[in-house]
Amino acid sequence: MAIWSTEIKQIENLHGSIRGQFSELEKELEQLIRTEDANVIMLYSRRCLEVIITDLCECELKRPRKTEPLKGIIDKLHKEEKVPSNIVTSMDHLNSLSAYGAHPKDFDPEQVKPVLNNLDVIIKWYLKYKGPQIVGKPKSEEEKNRSIQSVVSPADKSIAVLPFRDMSPEKDQDYFCEGISEEIINTLTHIENFKVIARTSAFAFKDKQTDIREIGRILNVGTLLEGSIRKDGDRLRITAQLIKVADSSHIWSERYDRDMKNVFDIQDEIALAIADNLKVKLLGGKETMVVKRHSENIEAYNLYLKGTYYWQMYTVEGYNKALEYFEQALQKDPNYALAYAGLASVNIASTTFGDVAPNEALPRANENAKRALEIDSTLAEAYTALGDYYAFYLWNWKEAERNFLHAFAINPNLSFIHLEYAIFLALTGRGKEAIPEAKRAQELDPLSSYINARTGDVFLYAGQLDRAIEEYEMTLKINPNYFLAHYQLGRLYYFAKGNVKESVTEYKNAVDLSGENTFAIASLITRYYRIGRKNQAETLFTSLRKRAKTEYVPATSFYLIHRARGEEEMALEWLKKACDEHDTFLPYFRADPVLIPEGSKYMKLLKDMGLDY
């Protein structure tokens, strides 16, 4: 039993008392009370505090929170005597302890109990502040029914599809188990008013003995689909069961004994059985999309699953293998639209996380996405790839947005569409519109390190630096080794906080965890020059120039380094080269006044080259 079980019980009681009345606070408490992970408890304790402080800022200080850190608002509330001193003390303690816990290397589980005790004090005061009648007020039967309906009904129309277990004698069907689960996820996302958790978050529980209710609470869903696959030669036995999270009861279960060639029929049956058993209404004309098949060739399908498996590793090796498998799939089925969309996605990602030049990769992405749409004009994945192509390669913002919106019209429930559109909006100066889109992506994929870190990027480019830092630090509570979060903290600890030591530490973490990503190395070099560690900077710079002779290194990397060295004309030449190459980092640079100062010759160059809004 956890040492903080008593404190969790206290918080659970408070959660029960506000059900149906404070939706945002209730949502964060819901995640907190059903987990045993100390980092997750700290994460959602801080989010609870954030909900309360944001509300107090609007109610008592009469202004939106905007970019202010929690500490600044707490101090202001104290100074103006808007909140009792003992509550301010609890807020300060919770804020400082949970922020400290954002760095797992320094994290002490003993911090959890005082955080929960402080949260208990704060919430009890907050409920009285919002109205003494709330806590303990008897409800009529009509109110009870209305409250229960408001909480339960949305959850009933939500699901997480867990990765099917491999029960084959050889234990060699892992990719197939993940693949069939993902196909079911993709199928269900086309259903109206139906929340489907994305692959990354649903698969986070693979090979873990986590309680059904715990999974449901963390992912905030009412139902789970789990199953197993046993392959023996060309014969398949697939079992699937739909489980209600609230009481772990089985809504539906089925076993399928089929030939391998009938795997598509099995997927269709499972997806439609779930929709039928949850009584979910399908959109007019979309039932055909729910049972739509992209290939009848089982060998092509298996190769596509392998390609998807490797693509989602986000490594150079993974991209190379993914390309190989997608191309093999197309050899088996030249009209496999999803495989073309897969190629386009890898082409785009390989310029940032991989080692392929944009002038080489992005035109290929365009060709592959358009070929996919020639075969199947209803692929949201292909339209999203085109949106990225027009935004990051051609800087054609109007055409980029048209493709993103087309993707939404086809499938509004894919987390990565919301995320890519949010980034697009933030980079083009539409931060207020971008933030809700990023938050929706988080809701659909709450445990994705990538989506949580990129949500930090959205806040960053919307000008909310302290909120961005909070998102990156929260990402590290989910995944302490996620290099994107470390990288951005390296930037912000320096520019927003003036903390040189932490900035260097985070950049080093990013370099190590990314497999020595060239852009992360360039940023570390820049920081060394800025703080006077010239010898360390020169050593890394020499190494990076050597690598650039045999592999692609973004020209923007050398632009940053030469600016840090005070070599303005050299920096300008490298920025021109980046424009010629259509370096995919340039839209980010254009939106960041630290990297490209307003009114500078660098900004003039970008505008002259057509990178303007």
Instruction: Indicate whether 257 and 189 sit together in one domain.
Output: yes
One domain for residues 106 and 159: no
Instruction: Say if residue 247 is exposed, middle or buried (CB neighbours under 10 Å; 0-12, 13-18, 19+).
Output: exposed
Residue 100's CATH number = 1.20.120
Is residue 123 located within the same domain as residue 158?
no
What CATH number does the domain containing 279 carry? 3.40.50.11830
Q: How many residues does the chain have?
A: 613
Q: What percent of the chain stands above pLDDT 70?
A: 89
Question: Are both 124 and 173 inside the same structural domain?
Answer: no
Q: Are 158 and 194 in contact (CB under 8 A)?
A: yes
Of 276, 294, 298, residue with least CA distance to 372: 294
Q: Do 168 and 133 lie in a common domain?
A: no
The rounded distance, in Å, linking the Cα atoms of 108 and 118 is 17
Between the CA of residue 141 and those of 156, 220, 534, what are the distances in Å? Answer: 21, 26, 73
- Asked whether residue 54 falls in the same domain as residue 88, the answer is yes
Please list the rounded mean pLDDT of every run of 10 residues in the chain (613 residues).
76 80 84 81 87 90 81 87 83 75 53 85 86 42 35 60 84 76 80 82 85 87 88 81 85 79 72 64 47 72 82 76 94 94 92 86 96 92 95 95 91 89 95 93 89 94 92 90 90 85 92 87 93 94 95 94 95 96 94 92 93 84
36 and 79 co-located in one domain: yes
Compute the C-alpha angle 234/236/238, nearest 5°: 165
Which H or E run includes 167? none
Q: Which two tokens stand for residue 502?
A: 């932490």
Strand partners, 256: 238
Same domain? 200 vs 125: no
Closest CA to 477 of 2, 103, 45: 103
* Domain, as residue range, for 264: 153-293
Cα–Cα distance measured from residue 590 to residue 351, given in angstroms and rounded to the nearest whole number: 18
Query: What are phi and psi for residue 210, nearest 5 degrees?
Result: -95, 135
Q: Is beta strand 195-196 parallel, antiparallel or unpaired with respect to 158-161? A: parallel
User: How far apart (Å, rounded) are the C-alpha atoms in residues 470 and 561?
Assistant: 28
> Is the backbone of residue 66 left (phi > 0), alpha (psi -120 to 50) or beta?
left
CA distance 393 to 18: 49
The predicted pLDDT at position 153 comes to: 40
Residues 115 and 167 in one domain: no
Identify each DSSP E strand in 72-177 by its residue range.
Answer: 158-161, 165-166
> Which string of DSSP letters, residue by residue, matches 342-396?
HHHHHHHHTTTTSS--HHHHHHHHHHHHHHHHHH-TT-HHHHHHHHHHHHHTS--
Which of 76, 108, 138 terminates a domain? The answer is 138
**pLDDT for 59-70, tens place per residue?**
888 888 876 788
Quick check: 420 and 458 in contact, CB under 8 A?
no
CA–CA separation, 555 and 208 (whole Å): 43
Query: What is the pLDDT at residue 587?
Result: 95
Task: Name the strand (E) or helix (H) holding 16.
Answer: helix 5-17
- The pLDDT of residue 579: 95
**Same domain for 248 and 225:** yes
- State the DSSP H helix or E strand holding residue 526, giving kind and residue range, or none if neither: helix 518-530
Structural domains of the chain, count:
2
Q: Among 290, 555, 446, 393, which Cα is nearest to 385's?
A: 393
Distance in angstroms (rounded) separating the CA atoms of residues 216 and 210? 10
Distance CA 494, CA 324 (A): 41
Residue 226 lies in a domain: yes
Same domain, 126 and 159: no
pLDDT number for residue 589? 94
Q: Tell me, what's the pLDDT at 278?
A: 59
Domain-ending residue, one of 293, 316, 338: 293
Q: How far apart are alpha carbons 231 and 214 in whole angstroms?
A: 30
Instruction: For residue 236, list its beta bridge partners.
Output: 231, 258
